[in-house]
Structure 1
């Protein structure tokens, strides 16, 4: 590792305080099974006052240049045939900053950047968010009811989140198998574990339907929800406590990923004991969920207070796991 400010390493988790690109540069080729993260959103959100913070880029071109170095390293360290998921959203254009009110296609730019680095665009899911909550939080003109009354040509839809996923070319040496189906559900309104989806068939059709009727329908129903192009059932408030990570020099933004979202992606695209990386780990949402689900975790974080809280959160999860093993 290069220029590590601090580190915490145990049997199941490796956490590093430093620049994500430098940390990745110190890893061997094809050593990680999966990565999921929420990148700095160009200059929309500033996480720290460090010159190494991609969110402190002077403009979009500078941000994408810096972000490209990270993607290049991810293309090297991810195993062939395995995936990287990026949590993102469209970025609002502001009159004061951009000259107009509108939107920037941040997910589209991310797709083009990953494809340029050799990744295959694998999938995209829309994550629903309540537009009223967004309006209350951001005071966005386009979401105000008074704007509807004044001139609805300036009204817009709320901004969902996206999980955009990419696959590294090559054959996956360790297939992600779900031979026994999906046995857990992460999100709101868990599907019922019924035995059949429809009335029992006539006696003469029983043998023909035997295979269908003995397949765990619960797994089918969970898969149907996970395979949906729109996730309406992610619990928005199900996040790690972020208040403890704030400090007096905090800038404008800290927003942990929803734990349901992380868990779904890990359930779909990783095996137990796989190494899961978050290069912008914040207070440790991805490492904590990875530990809870029997995966190994790796996290990089630049900001002091976030890194310290991530270590505390992961240690707490390790202690909880050890106590349950007694």
Structure 2
């Protein structure tokens, strides 16, 4: 039975709240979240709303982290011991008008340190490749412009990739995340293929080893090799919920929706079917949409009412699509 109020939508597959992420997270039980994945506000780089409660609506990095640390402590409390939280982030350009100089700020390192200060263990970090031409076209960054190369390349720089940083709560994981038989699907570009069957060799032991490798687990080995890479070159940049929902141009769009491939890999590696996936910055519902499609449950919080309404529709869509997939 569905229950709706002005500020929440609760169903068997998900719960979505329209409110302050710190206040709502405080209402969640201890050790109740299996995995969390989200894209936090990039300090003061973007202004999502004019609300005083919006962490992105701050005067600078110091003020942002002063507020963000309250959320980190709540994440530590609600996460099950031994489980993980992943956050999507990037280095932030320092601007002359805002920072007094042109350069780059290591925002991912600041985030990681804030999580470590709260007791989390740094678990992993993956670099997600982005096309520098697209970044140059979108941001008009001085360091990426070809005319700057011709004028004075001392100010030229490389593009800014995304990162997925994963932190682990100390303790013994009470429910192992097992993949019997390995990974049976792939999220991204250029899906791997199993190698061809080996030809016989004079050395019987070498042949038997090769034949064992090209058995059933070989696809999983190839997928894992891509997932375990410290650089993900194969994320489909346009595979976002914003793109998939194909809403009208007049509808409000999220500033930087997280690619569904990134979410799917995190959910696949670090949660079991039926687990609760949590996003304190749900936006238009990207993390919840992908989690539900993969048989997980979802809890999300979104402060901005317009995003919240879009997220509610997208999560309903995920439930219906997951049901349709079950029917074949």
TM interval, short-chain normalised: over 0.9
Aligned-residue offset at 1:307: 0.3
Q: Which runs of 4+ in 1 moved over 6 A?
A: 245-248
Answer with 5-14 or 99-108: which moved more: 5-14
User: Where in structure 2 are the equivalents of 1:151-190 lying within 5 Å?
Assistant: 151-190=152-191
Aligned-residue offset at 1:204: 2.2
The 1-side partners of 2:138 and 2:199 are apart by 48
What is aligned with 1:125? 126
Answer with 186-195 or 262-271: which moved more: 186-195
Q: Which runs of 5+ in 1 are unaligned?
A: none
Q: Residues 201 and 209 of structure 1 are in contact (CA less than 8 Å); yes or no, is this contact kept in structure 2?
A: no
What is aligned with 1:76? 77
What is aligned with 2:43? 42
Flag the 1:215–1:203 CA change in 2: closer, same or farther, 3 A.
farther
The 1-side partners of 2:113 and 2:322 are apart by 40
Flag the 1:29–1:210 CA change in 2: closer, same or farther, 3 A.
same
TM-score, normalised via structure 2 length: 0.92
Q: Which runs of 5+ in 2 are unaligned?
A: none
The 1-side partners of 2:210 and 2:321 are apart by 45
Flag the 1:208–1:136 CA change in 2: closer, same or farther, 3 A.
closer
Say whether residues 1:33 and 2:34 are aligned partners.
Answer: yes
- Provide Cα deviations, 1:74-104, integer angstroms capped at 9, x if missing partner: 0000000000001000000000111100000
Q: Find the residue that maps to 2:167 and give its secondary structure.
A: strand
The 2-side partners of 1:254 and 1:314 are apart by 19
Q: Residues 45 and 253 of structure 1 are in contact (CA less than 8 Å); yes or no, is this contact kept in structure 2?
A: no
Q: Find the residue that maps to 2:150 and give its secondary structure.
A: helix
Q: Residues 195 and 216 of structure 1 are in contact (CA less than 8 Å); yes or no, is this contact kept in structure 2?
A: no
Aligned-residue offset at 1:209: 5.2
Q: Residues 188 and 235 of structure 2 are in contact (CA less than 8 Å); yes or no, is this contact kept in structure 1?
A: yes
What is aligned with 2:204? 204
Q: Residues 254 and 284 of structure 2 are in contact (CA less than 8 Å); yes or no, is this contact kept in structure 1?
A: no
Aligned-residue offset at 1:247: 7.6
What is aligned with 2:229? 228
The 2-side partners of 1:115 and 1:5 are apart by 36
Q: Find the residue that maps to 2:242 and give its secondary structure.
A: coil
Q: Residues 246 and 305 of structure 1 are in contact (CA less than 8 Å); yes or no, is this contact kept in structure 2?
A: no
User: Where in structure 2 are the equivalents of 1:143-292 lying within 5 Å?
Assistant: 143-194=144-195, 196=197, 199-202=199-202, 204-205=204-205, 206-207=207-208, 211-241=212-242, 244=247, 254-292=255-293
Q: Find the residue that maps to 2:134 and give its secondary structure.
A: helix
Q: Residues 15 and 299 of structure 1 are in contact (CA less than 8 Å); yes or no, is this contact kept in structure 2?
A: yes
Aligned-residue offset at 1:178: 1.0
Aligned-residue offset at 1:193: 2.8
- Provide Cα deviations, 1:121-145, integer angstroms capped at 9, x if missing partner: 0000000000000000000000000
Aligned-residue offset at 1:211: 4.1
- Provide Cα deviations, 1:167-206, integer angstroms capped at 9, x if missing partner: 000000001111211100000010013355x654436224
Flag the 1:208–1:105 CA change in 2: closer, same or farther, 3 A.
closer
The 2-side partners of 1:75 and 1:201 are apart by 54
Aligned-residue offset at 1:57: 1.2
TM-score, normalised via structure 1 length: 0.93
Aligned residues: 320
Say whether residues 1:301 and 2:313 are aligned partners.
Answer: no
The 2-side partners of 1:128 and 1:207 are apart by 38
Flag the 1:62–1:245 CA change in 2: closer, same or farther, 3 A.
farther
Q: Residues 276 and 287 of structure 1 are in contact (CA less than 8 Å); yes or no, is this contact kept in structure 2?
A: yes
- Provide Cα deviations, 1:259-301, integer angstroms capped at 9, x if missing partner: 0110011111111001000110100000000010000111100
